[in-house]
Amino acid sequence: MTKNPTIILGSTSPFRKQILEKLNLDFQTAKPEVDETPLPNETAHQLVERLAVAKAQAVANKHNNALVIGSDQVALFNDTILGKPHTHENAIKQLSSFSGNKVTFLTGLAVINSETGETHALVEPFEVYFKQLTLDSIEAYLLAEKPYKCAGSFKSEALGICLFEKLVGDDPNTLVGLPLIKLVGLFEKFGFSVLQQQVTKAQS
């Protein structure tokens, strides 16, 4: 790999893009075309790691001299992957069940060197503890945000934060789908230093 590989985020999520911008790197985004259907008997942990790698690989196949980032996330409640509510009634049921309870997010993260195929991947957990939620507060939240296409019926990067008691994890960026602390570590496995890149940018 050359010293200056192209950094590509294999995601069109505006939230992941905003997070990656914190590292002050030049990067591109690309949409990975990947079938996200779970495999038979696949655990949530296995699913997010496999899909993170698959998304990175799908983009890496189309680029030269690139470090490609792939990410995937699921939310679990009582060891069951949360689906999207689609309707107001289902969203009330989901949020009511979370009241006073914990939802665990698992984020799969992968980086692939498109030249060599070298791949590093991991799964980062993050826990969200919900307040005791009243029906009034749930209704007010749903009215404001209408999160019917969001797994778990809430947007953690927006007003959903009002529903939480506390957050437990190593990196708050994980909750939105891109664990930056771990990403910096994965880059280093390829000999790519985010801080050294700042020196190079300053000198150019």
- The residues assigned a catalytic role are 72
Rounded Cα distance, 181 and 109, in Å: 11
Contact between 75 and 104 under an 8 Å Cβ cutoff? The reply is yes
Question: What is the DSSP annotation of 14-30?
Answer: HHHHHHHHTT---EEE-
* Dihedral sign, Cα of residue 171, residue 177, residue 74, residue 54: negative
Contact between 147 and 100 under an 8 Å Cβ cutoff? The reply is no
DSSP character for 11?
A: -
**Chain Cα centroid distance, residue 181:** 13
**Chain Cα centroid distance, residue 50:** 14
Strand partners, 6: 66
